[in-house]
């Protein structure tokens, strides 16, 4: 596989609304991000994935775009954006933009035109269907509750929206739509960005009349056309958000010979605490052995014909320490270091979501008006109407709601955690006085420096990027153990995923050095190793 810059890179995701406010309107913005680039440089990341900053009515906080070549006024101006790109590139940090082209906002001029009349020249930019027996054309449903079809009274037809009613799906079968997307992508590539994260890109091949949404028949044809008309002419990185990806499907996206994307986000591990066949809200405890199986499957499926992304968190998921670690004061950092170690020692491009590096945790709510996210608000109404109790619904939202990820970042222990001197658009997690960047930078044992070390190891040690992976003890209920091997060098990652102490022993490996641990005094003897709560150690072995 030809080496690319993103093979040994680490990407940091920023949700701009919640990162840093610079003008005290309580909303994060681009100048705020610029003011924090040196912090990100100190962490050691190589690329920044920026969630959407384009003009948007914010029905879905920027994932409903009304102008792809304009910057949302709350976030700043195009001059600010040009400055951010220049400031990133000056630091050797590539800027990855969020490409949201499965749908636009209903306030995008294309849709405003399209809904004017059935013979409007933009009509076919979107997916319009006649009512069937006076009802929606079929049973497709929206991720944000309810039917995926909305009746437009003006022209008497339904339009498709797999997300909110204000996010009409684009019609990718229309070559004019594809050309508009290529032109927009090239506008941003010519500005010197480092690539794209592609929002729900698995949906652009949809066949709505057949109720096919993900992995449609023309999906890869469109992606190859996109590659050849835009980013394929640049040394940039592309990552597709593909909820239904299996290893075989991931190879279709990321095999370099196919000239599509660099890699995809697969979500098999992310669904493990959901009751199979039910919604994300129907929670069950994590099946740890399944988590290991999924990691090992993805670590061993590519042989130069694809590439992994590695992530625990993003702006759609609850905070990983609360979800699968332990967010008590005693174990928050320890379990955070364990989770970071077992992910970052794997092969692939790791993604760190803002605040993950300082161990931010979930923010439980007691009332629905403490939330902002349309997905949670719509689900709340839908489940109330379906007879769920308020307690049941809030339990689900506190476990899995997206606002858990969107609380403003804690920079210090001052008012509003130094995020703003105004009123934050969304209340902060109350623990910002202890969990914050200033405290993390002042503490050599903080989670921040553990992430910094993991990022540095990926740069310094080819075994982390290219080493062969092999799992040990797959049936163990609490240990995750795997080997990385390259050119005679062998590393062993040994992690206790839980609070209960346990023992690991092997005579197949002789540890010669501890590369990294979340305890200052981990033992070297693998003949009879006691692992304390969440103890995670990386050994160099003979």
What are the residues binding Ca ion (CB under 5 A)? 21, 23, 25, 27, 29
Question: Among 10, 100, 237, 361, which residue interacts with ligand TEU (rule: CB under 6 A)?
Answer: 100
Distance between CA atoms of 31 and 28, rounded to whole angstroms? 9
Q: Minimum distance from CB of 479 to ligand TEU (Å)?
A: 29
Q: How many residues bind ligand TEU (CB under 6 A)?
A: 14
Comparison of 96 and 495: residue with beta carbon closer to ligand TEU: 96
Q: 163 touches which of Ca ion, ligand TEU, none (CB within 5 to 8 A by kind)?
A: ligand TEU
Q: 23 touches which of ligand TEU, Ca ion, none (CB within 5 to 8 A by kind)?
A: Ca ion
Complete DSSP assignment for 467-520: -EEEEE-TT-SSEEEEEEEETTEEEEEEEE-SSS-EEE--SS--EEEEEEESST
Q: Minimum distance from CB of 252 to ligand TEU (Å)?
A: 19
Q: Is 49 in the site for ligand TEU (CB under 6 A)?
A: no
Contact, 318 vs 273, CB < 8 A?
no
Q: Minimum distance from CB of 425 to Ca ion (Å)?
A: 9
Question: Coil, strand or helix: which one is 188?
Answer: helix
Interface of this chain with ligand TEU, residues 230 to 249, rule: CB under 6 A: 241, 243
Say which residue the tokens 């190891």 belong to: 457
Measure the CA angle with vertex 71, ends 68 and 77; round to 5°. Answer: 150
Distance between CA atoms of 443 and 431, rounded to whole angstroms? 17
The pair of structure tokens assigned to 336 is 């955070």
Q: Judge whether 372 counts as a catalytic residue.
A: no
Q: Is 399 in the site for ligand TEU (CB under 6 A)?
A: no
The pair of structure tokens assigned to 501 is 């102490």
Comparison of 28 and 533: residue with beta carbon closer to ligand TEU: 28
Comparison of 83 and 439: residue with beta carbon closer to Ca ion: 83
Q: 280 touches which of ligand TEU, Ca ion, none (CB within 5 to 8 A by kind)?
A: ligand TEU
> Across the chain, how many H-helices and E-strands are there?
16, 20
Q: 375 touches which of ligand TEU, Ca ion, none (CB within 5 to 8 A by kind)?
A: ligand TEU
Q: Minimum distance from CB of 326 to ligand TEU (Å)?
A: 22
Q: Is 163 in the site for ligand TEU (CB under 6 A)?
A: yes
Q: Is 17 in the site for ligand TEU (CB under 6 A)?
A: no
Comparison of 337 and 402: residue with beta carbon closer to ligand TEU: 402
The pair of structure tokens assigned to 223 is 């992606």
Q: Is 63 in the site for ligand TEU (CB under 6 A)?
A: yes
Question: Coil, strand or helix: which one is 128?
Answer: strand
259: left (phi over 0), alpha (psi -120 to 50) or beta: left
CA quadruple 509, 512, 518, 523: dihedral sign:
positive
Distance between CA atoms of 148 and 159, rounded to whole angstroms? 8
φ and ψ of 40, to 5 deg: -70, -35
Complete DSSP assignment for 284-343: ----HHHHHHHHHHHHSS-SSS--BEEES--TTS--HHHHHS--STTTHHHHHHHHHHHH
Q: 281 touches which of Ca ion, ligand TEU, none (CB within 5 to 8 A by kind)?
A: none
Q: Is 55 in the site for ligand TEU (CB under 6 A)?
A: no
Distance between CA atoms of 429 and 406, rounded to whole angstroms? 10
Comparison of 23 and 89: residue with beta carbon closer to Ca ion: 23
The pair of structure tokens assigned to 537 is 């150690």
Q: 339 touches which of ligand TEU, Ca ion, none (CB within 5 to 8 A by kind)?
A: none
Q: Catalytic: which of 46, 60, 150, 199?
A: 199
Comparison of 52 and 194: residue with beta carbon closer to ligand TEU: 52
- CB-nearest residue to Ca ion: 29
Q: Judge whether 74 counts as a catalytic residue.
A: no
Q: Is 65 in the site for ligand TEU (CB under 6 A)?
A: no
Q: Is 402 in the site for ligand TEU (CB under 6 A)?
A: yes
Q: Minimum distance from CB of 100 to ligand TEU (Å)?
A: 6
Comparison of 315 and 383: residue with beta carbon closer to ligand TEU: 315
User: Which residues are near ligand TEU by CB under 6 A?
Assistant: 60, 63, 100, 143, 163, 199-200, 241, 243, 280, 315-316, 375, 402
Query: Which residues are known catalytic residues?
Result: 199, 241
């Amino acid at each position: 596989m030809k080496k690319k810059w993103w093979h040994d890179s680490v990407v940091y995701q920023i949700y701009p609304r919640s990162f840093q406010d610079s003008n005290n309107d309580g909303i994060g913005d681009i100048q705020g991000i610029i003011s924090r680039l040196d912090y990100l440089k100190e962490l050691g990341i190589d690329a920044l994935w920026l969630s959407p900053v384009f003009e948007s009515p914010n029905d879905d906080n920027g994932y409903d775009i009304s102008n792809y070549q304009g910057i949302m006024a709350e976030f700043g101006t195009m001059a600010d954006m040009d400055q951010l790109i220049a400031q990133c590139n000056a630091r050797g940090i590539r800027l990855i933009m969020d490409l949201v082209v499965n749908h636009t906002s209903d306030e995008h001029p294309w849709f405003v035109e399209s809904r004017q009349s059935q013979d409007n020249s933009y009509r076919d930019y979107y997916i319009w269907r006649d009512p069937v027996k006076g009802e929606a054309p079929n049973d497709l449903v929206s991720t944000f509750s309810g039917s995926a079809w909305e009746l437009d009274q003006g022209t008497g037809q339904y339009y498709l929206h797999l997300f909110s009613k204000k996010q009409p799906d684009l019609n990718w079968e229309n070559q004019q739509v594809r050309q508009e997307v290529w032109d927009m992508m090239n506008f941003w590539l010519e500005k010197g960005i480092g690539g794209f994260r592609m929002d729900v890109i698995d949906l652009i091949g949809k066949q709505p009349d057949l109720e096919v949404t993900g992995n449609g028949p023309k999906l890869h044809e469109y992606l190859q056309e996109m590659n050849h008309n835009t980013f394929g002419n640049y040394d940039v990185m592309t990552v597709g958000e593909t909820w239904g990806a299996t290893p075989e499907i991931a190879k279709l996206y990321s095999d370099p010979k196919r000239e599509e994307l660099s890699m995809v986000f697969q979500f098999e591990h992310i669904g493990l605490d959901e009751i199979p066949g039910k919604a994300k809200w129907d929670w069950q405890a994590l099946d740890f052995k399944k988590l290991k199986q999924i990691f090992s499957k993805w670590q061993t499926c590519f042989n130069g014909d694809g590439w992994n992304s590695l992530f625990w968190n993003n702006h759609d998921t609850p905070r990983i320490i609360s979800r699968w670690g332990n967010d008590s004061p005693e174990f928050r950092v320890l379990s955070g270091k364990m989770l970071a170690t077992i992910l970052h020692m794997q092969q692939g491009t790791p993604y760190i979501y803002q605040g993950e590096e300082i161990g931010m945790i979930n923010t439980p709510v007691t009332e629905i008006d403490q939330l902002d996210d349309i997905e949670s608000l719509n689900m709340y109404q839908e489940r109330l109407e379906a007879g769920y109790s308020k307690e049941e619904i809030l339990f689900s939202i506190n476990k899995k709601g997206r606002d858990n990820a969107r609380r403003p970042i804690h920079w210090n222990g001052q008012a509003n955690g130094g995020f703003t001197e105004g009123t934050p658009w969304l209340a902060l997690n109350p623990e910002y006085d202890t969990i914050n960047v200033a405290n993390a930078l002042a503490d050599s044992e903080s989670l921040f420096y553990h992430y910094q070390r993991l990022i540095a190891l990926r740069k310094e040690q080819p075994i982390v990027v290219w080493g062969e992976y092999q799992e040990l003890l797959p049936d163990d209920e609490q240990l995750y153990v795997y080997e990385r091997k390259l050119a005679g060098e062998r590393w062993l990652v040994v992690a206790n995923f839980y609070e209960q102490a346990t023992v690991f022993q092997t005579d197949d490996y002789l540890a010669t050095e501890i590369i990294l641990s979340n305890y200052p005094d981990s033992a070297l003897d693998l003949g009879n190793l006691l692992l304390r709560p969440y103890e995670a150690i990386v050994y160099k072995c003979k």
